[in-house]
Homo-oligomer: A and B are copies of this chain.
């Protein structure tokens, strides 16, 4: 079954020009210990449960307007199920179906409601195998009587629980060939290239991309092991560096392993921490940094001499695990 069949919509040339990916919407990840992972994401990170099903929990940050920005799926192996990206119109889904067909990329329609809150979605993989779902319809999150805020700008009450990130921010995947993958995301999906790092042999070590004004919604980092795409991390945005310190304190008190940080990425200017949630997926909490407004933005190069400062402008070096460890992409 496909959406196209439902509506018999005709696509004009203009539709092709106007159809775009709008922004990243959510990540769906596998966890091996749902109970502990859920505790981490709610009590330590401070997300809120929108919905629970037999094997899934849908979560959002306090100012995420959408039904969910993270899905935890019980599994026997941690890793990535898919990333959801919202398109800018219903028709855009059909446009992308057409483009996928033309490029002979396998895809499938995911029927509305299969993922709670989400309308029909089209699912496919990037050249490196990153599972992507494009969707148009997404329910808004709804506060109940006890969580509703008097502020219309608050989708729910700010409670300050846990690290209390404001919103979902970005995702990061380790791939074998960054250049190839980045080109595809930019050319096929229109996600702009923002900055990149090159090593001494002039091999691309990382590329950061965004469709919106935030510094990046998707990061692609070279997998040192060259054993295929792996989920590197999902990231939520904190309001301030003090919130980052608060997050570090909460993780430290709760025996969560802090892999790296606090530090400050030179590339984006954002302060960061990386930690492992109880099922082994890496999570980043970050804050600050730049927005990008120029419609003709030229990607910033961080060459071999500068690259380390791109990772941490204060001079620390990432632990080995940061460059090699990722969780499975199914």
Among A17, A243, A252, A267, chain B packs the most CB atoms within 10 A around the CB of: A252
Against B, the Cβ 8 Å flags (1 = close, 0 = not) of A13-28 are: 1100110001100000
Against B, the Cβ 8 Å flags (1 = close, 0 = not) of A273-314 are: 000000000000000101101110000111000100110011
Complex interface: chain B residues within 8 A of A88 (CB): 295
CB distance from A146 to the nearest CB of B (A): 12
Which one, A120-128, A153-161, A185-193, is touching chain B? A153-161
Is residue A257 within 8 Å, beta carbon to beta carbon, of the partner chain? yes
Beta-carbon nearest neighbor of A157 in chain B: B253
CB distance from A184 to the nearest CB of B (A): 23
CB distance from A205 to the nearest CB of B (A): 14
Partner of A243, one of B23, B166, B242, B309: B242
Against B, the Cβ 8 Å flags (1 = close, 0 = not) of A258-284 are: 100110101111010000000000000
Interface size of A by CB at 8 A reads 68
CB distance from A67 to the nearest CB of B (A): 12
Copies of this protein in the complex: 4
A-B contact pairs, 28 of them (CB 8 A): A14-B14, A17-B17, A18-B18, A22-B295, A89-B295, A150-B255, A151-B266, A151-B306, A152-B300, A152-B306, A153-B268, A153-B269, A153-B290, A153-B310, A154-B253, A158-B249, A158-B250, A160-B160, A167-B290, A167-B291, A212-B213, A239-B288, A240-B240, A241-B242, A248-B314, A249-B264, A251-B314, A252-B313
Partner of A246, one of B13, B152, B160, B294: B160
Complex interface: chain B residues within 8 A of A159 (CB): 250, 253
Against B, the Cβ 8 Å flags (1 = close, 0 = not) of A59-94 are: 000010110000000000000000000101100000
Question: Given that A241-B242, A262-B262 are known contacts, is A151 also in contact with B18, CB under 8 Å in the complex?
Answer: no
Complex interface: chain B residues within 8 A of A249 (CB): 158, 160, 264, 313
